[in-house]
Copies of this chain bind each other. A is one copy, B any other.
Amino acid sequence: MVTAPSVKPVEFYFDFSSPYGYLASYRIDDIAKEFGREVAWRPYLLGVAFKSSGQSPLVSQPMRGPYHLRDMERTARRMQVPIVLPEGFPMATMAAGRAFYWLDGQDPRRAADFAKAIYRAAFAQGRNITPTDVVAEVAGEIGLDPAAVTAAIGSPEAKERLRAETESAIARGAFGSPFIIVDGEPFWGNDRLDEVREWLKTGGW
C-alpha cells in the first residue's frame, strides 16, 4: 500500500498581545497555501516564555520600545493594514487563548478565523481583548455562539490545553511572536516571512 508522504503544517506560534504577530496573521496562511501547506495556528503565553528567556515586553523596554512602536507603524503602513495599540496594551490573553484551543479541538480552520478576528479586534479596532465577554463578543461577530465560548473559557480543559501548548511552544524554542517553524527550522519575527516563503519554496539552504 502506498500512502502520500505526510506534509507537515507550518507551525505559527504567536501571542494575541503581539503587534508583530497581528501583522504576520495577514500573510501566513497565503504563504503556506502557495506551497500546498496548512498552517497550525498556535497561540501561547509569551509572558511565560519571558521567564525562560529573561526578556520583557518589547514596548516597555528603554530605547527598543520607542523604536519598535515606530517600526510597527511603519511596517503596517507598508503592508497597508491598520494598526493601533489597544487599551491596556500589552494585555493578558488567557481568555482568547483558551477559547482558541476549545475551537481548535473542533475545527482548526474556524479556530484560525477566530484568531484573526481577535487580532483585528485588538490591533485594528483597538478593543481590549482581555475580558471574557469581549472574547465572546468577537466570537459572536464571526458566527460562533458567545455563550458556548464563555463556557469554554471557564473550563478546566481549555485552561489545561493553553498551559500545555505554552509549555510545548517554549520547549520547541519559541521566545517571541510570531515564531514560525517550517519542517523543524525556526524563524522569529514578522520580518522573517519572506524567508519562510523562500524556505518553503526551496526546501532550505
| B-binding residues in A (CB < 8 A) | 49, 52-55, 61-64, 66-67, 70-71, 74, 77-78, 170, 173, 175-176, 185-186, 188-189, 191-192, 195, 198, 205
Q: How far is the CA of A77 from the CA of B67 in the complex (A)?
A: 29
Residues of B within 8 A of A205 (CB): 74, 77-78
Residues of B within 8 A of A185 (CB): 74
Minimal Cβ-Cβ distance residue in B for A68:
B188
Q: How far is the CA of A54 from the CA of B185 in the complex (A)?
A: 29
Q: Are A67 and B191 in contact (CB under 8 A)?
A: no
Q: Are A188 and B53 in contact (CB under 8 A)?
A: no
When the two chains form the complex, which single residue of B49, B77, B192 contacts A191, counting CB atoms closer than 8 Å? Answer: B192
Q: How far is the CA of A77 from the CA of B53 in the complex (A)?
A: 27
- Given A191-B191, A205-B77: A61 and B71 interface contact (C-beta under 8 Å): no
Q: Are A62 and B67 in contact (CB under 8 A)?
A: no
Q: Are B53 and A63 in contact (CB under 8 A)?
A: yes
Q: How far is the CA of A198 from the CA of B194 in the complex (A)?
A: 15
